[in-house]
Amino acid sequence: MPPKKPGLGLSIAPGSASAGSGVIADTTDPSDLLPHDGEDAMKLKDKDLEFLGELGAGNGGTVSKVRHIPTGIIMARKNIMVSAERQLKSELKILHIVRSDYIVSSYGAFSHEGAISVCLEYMDLGSLDNIYHKKGPIPEVTTVKIAVHVLRGLLYLSEKSILHRDIKPSNILVNSKGQVKITDFGVSKQVLDTIARTFTGTQGYLAPERITSENSYSVTSDVWALGLSLIEISTGKNVYPLLSLFEMMTYVQESEPPSLPPGKFTPMFEDLVSKCVIKDPTKRFSPEDLLRHPYCMDVIADGISLIEWAESLKD
């Protein structure tokens, strides 16, 4: 566990293609967007961060691997240079609230040269997306253990009335300790009674109720996205590849729920995934329900350590 005030991460992994989004308005002093840290917050300064290499870049800015000179801690520094002020305030607010072993931790944020720098826990093995593209599909038993880690993270967020709204393999990170953590809260929302009505997130992972944008949705929408992610990492293929937003809206609404290819996985795993992708959100299983699924309970009883798998991923 990183020392000092663990919190939410805004998504950074080695090889990440995107560094986030946002614009700080010209009339805004970036320091005004920062939350008021408690006495235990790490005091971060640009001069105390030694650049070690680039991790990712995108339209929103850059992400780099840095060393915090006073402590020697390796971090991922995200420079947010193009974010809407309102969105950035929301991200930093959530970052300040979240404390969980299943969420990427934040060491804090500071303003520098008209932008906000956020220093995050460095997850050295990268995202599930990068892992399965490099190493091939992830074995079933490992995938179920990953599911337990993510479900515990989603359960924690739901208890804090926070919807992630962008669960996908690229937003689930792994480190060499075998820890699996949710990251990237750029489109997350803290909502009353965990209900929201806005249309946001990555279109290939949106639940049916989010695509129509007619009904309110809850944490079970994140569960749908997890179900698609489990299918993707265990088969090595996207569930909805190369579909436009309109095509996907039509397809998801009119087709049967996605499923694993028949005959290649155990009935227990097929059942677990099917509980994630029930089209009716009122019947879809919650994170708490899924953690009580017999397959999840079996792997929890046997131990959900992923250290051996993490060791196998090292180059």
102 close to 157: Cβ distance less than 8 angstroms:
no
pLDDT at 14 over 50: no
Distance from C-alpha of 8 to C-alpha of 27, rounded to nearest angstrom: 27
Per residue, what are the HEC states of 223-244?
Answer: HHHHHHHHHHHHHCCCCCCCCC
pLDDT of residue 184: 75
pLDDT of residue 194: 42
**DSSP 8-state code for residue 193:** G
pLDDT at 221 over 60: yes
pLDDT of residue 57: 66
Its sign, for the CA torsion 232, 233, 236, 242, is positive
β-strand partners of 190: 162
CA torsion angle 4 7 9 13 (round to 10): 40
The size of the chain, in residues, is 315
pLDDT at 192 over 50: no
148 close to 299: Cβ distance less than 8 angstroms:
yes
pLDDT band at 6 (very low <50, low <70, confident <90, very high): very low
111 close to 118: Cβ distance less than 8 angstroms:
no
Domains defined along the chain, listed by start: 30-121 (3.30.200.20), 126-313 (1.10.510.10)
pLDDT band at 8 (very low <50, low <70, confident <90, very high): very low
Q: Which tens digit of pLDDT belongs to each residue from 115-165? A: 778 888 999 999 999 999 999 999 999 999 999 999 999 999 988 888 878
Tokens of 72: 């020697």
83 close to 23: Cβ distance less than 8 angstroms:
yes
Residue 177 among known ligand-binding residues = no
Place of tokens 């991200």: 91
Q: Which tens digit of pLDDT belongs to each residue from 58-109? A: 545 678 999 999 999 999 998 876 444 555 666 677 777 888 999 988 888 8
The mean pLDDT value for 177-189 works out to: 77
153 close to 6: Cβ distance less than 8 angstroms:
no
229 vs 104, which has greater pLDDT?
Answer: 229
Secondary structure (3-state) at 57? strand
pLDDT of residue 3: 37
Pick from 5-9, 154-158, 236-240, 252-256: least confident: 5-9
Active site (catalytic) residues = 166
pLDDT at 315 over 80: no
28 vs 201, which has greater pLDDT?
Answer: 201
Per residue, what are the HEC states of 251-275?
Answer: HHHHCCCCCCCCCCCCHHHHHHHHH
pLDDT band at 227 (very low <50, low <70, confident <90, very high): very high
Pick from 40-54, 82-96, 121-135, 215-229: least confident: 82-96
Q: What is each CA distance from 184 to 57, 102, 136, 198, 255, in whole angstroms?
A: 14, 13, 24, 18, 30
pLDDT band at 29 (very low <50, low <70, confident <90, very high): very low
